[in-house]
Amino acid sequence: MSSPRRNIEGRPLGACAASTSSPGSPVHGGGGGGGGGGSSSRFEFQSLLNSRTPCADPTCARLRASESPVHRRGSFPLAGTNPSQASPPLLPEEDRLDLNPSFLGIALRSLLAIDLWLSKKLGVCAGESSSWGSVRPLMKLLEISGHGIPWLLGTLYCLSRSDSWAGREVLTNLLFALLLDLLLVALIKGLVRRRRPTHNQMDMFFTLSVDKYSFPSGHATRAALVSRFILNHLVLAIPLRVLVVLWAFILGLSRVMLGRHNVTDVAFGFFLGYTQYSIVNYCWLSPYNAPFLFVLWNQQ
Ligand SMILES: CC(C)=CCC/C(C)=C/CC/C(C)=C/COP(=O)(O)O
């Protein structure tokens, strides 16, 4: 008994896929669902077109005809329908592009595959039963050390206690930096909407609605931003400076170990936090360019 013909995704071609698929399914070229559905759906479409399996259901046959590139564009014949026009059928340009994905496309997909694989491997504290589950409480403590709330409240408290102009200036800019960070991270998370890794347990304390998304890591942006800020504006002994850098690095790593993030979320988070510091430095607030703010602190 011969096995049924299958398309590239391993689905049998004997049955009429069009009659069973939804409008967003690959057969309709809708590219529904995530994970690179676009190109594989095109491929499946070609395979269905070229299979000579008759379709018993008339609705199905009509659907297949109306969905075919021949019907849609009327620009090229089906191979074999007329021997006098036996030149190879020309694919529409976008289909040819999909069948020959660009180097950039392949590189990006490979990077994402490596990212997912590595993140899963490093997610050793994702649950109590994980291989490093006993370190999870420590990782969660680190998580709190990079959370937005303690940093915001701490900065506001120090501002209210500060009695020097220089101190107020630095703290005002730290507050501005933290708010800018929250805003940019929320904006990018809302735009990119990358889901957190499946092995993550969503048990973080005090999150915003966008925090169900993982790209970029807010803790990583804050770690890079705050550590660069501290290193540039506080006079610290070398061991303390090393400690600040270590804290930022371990906080970023802990996000992947806890299963909260993929490696690329954290890597981009570090980059974004580092860049945010440059923005804050460029727009540095002082009693000269933002006197209203400093008058406000003075009245406290
Ligand atoms: C003023 C204001 C809107 C404060 C909100 C502070 C807040 C709840 C920040 C969220 C911090 C958080 C849980 C970020 C998620 O970090 P990931 O590293 O998991 O992206």
- pLDDT category, 296, cuts 50, 70, 90? confident
- pLDDT category, 293, cuts 50, 70, 90? confident
Q: Which atom of ligand 1 is nearest to the CA of 219?
A: 18
Higher-confidence position of 13 and 196:
196
Q: Tell me which residue has its CA closest to atom 1 in ligand 1.
A: 179
Q: Which atom of ligand 1 is nearest to the CA of 213?
A: 20
Q: Poorest-confidence range of 41-50, 250-259, 284-293? A: 41-50
Given a cut of 70, is residue 58 above it in pLDDT? no
Buried b (16+ CB within 10 A) or exposed e, 55-90: beeeebeebbeebebeeeeeeeeeeeeeeeeeeebe
Q: Who contacts 194 (Cβ-Cβ below 8 Å, separation ≥6)?
A: 213, 214, 215, 262, 265
Distance 209 CA to ligand 1 centre (A): 9
Ligand 1: list residues with CB < 6 Å: 147-149, 152, 182, 204, 206-208, 211, 217-219, 255, 260
Which positions are annotated as active-site residues? Answer: 219, 261
Q: What pLDDT digit, counting tens, does each position of 219-252 carry?
A: 999 999 999 999 999 999 999 999 999 999 999 9
Given a cut of 60, is residue 56 above it in pLDDT? no
Q: What pLDDT digit, counting tens, does each position of 153-203 carry?
A: 999 999 999 989 899 999 999 999 999 999 999 999 999 999 999 999 989
pTM of this structure: 0.69
pLDDT of residue 291: 87
- pLDDT category, 91, cuts 50, 70, 90? low
Distance 181 CA to ligand 1 centre (A): 10
Instruction: Locate 11 and state its tokens.
Output: 């689905």
Given a cut of 90, is residue 151 above it in pLDDT? yes
**Span 80-98, mean pLDDT?**
53
Domain boundaries, the chain: 123-299
Mutate to test the pocket of ligand 1, among 142, 203, 208 (most ligand atoms within 8 A of CB): 208
- pLDDT category, 89, cuts 50, 70, 90? low
Distance 146 CA to ligand 1 centre (A): 9
**Residue 10: CB atoms within 10 Å:** 6
Of 259, 257, 261, nearest to 220 (Cα)? 261
The Cα-based distances of 177 to 8, 65, 134, 162, 275 in angstroms read 50, 58, 35, 18, 11
Computed over every residue of the chain, the mean pLDDT equals: 77
Do the beta carbons of residue 180 and residue 280 sit within 8 Å?
Answer: yes
Q: Who contacts 53 (Cβ-Cβ below 8 Å, separation ≥6)?
A: 5, 13, 14
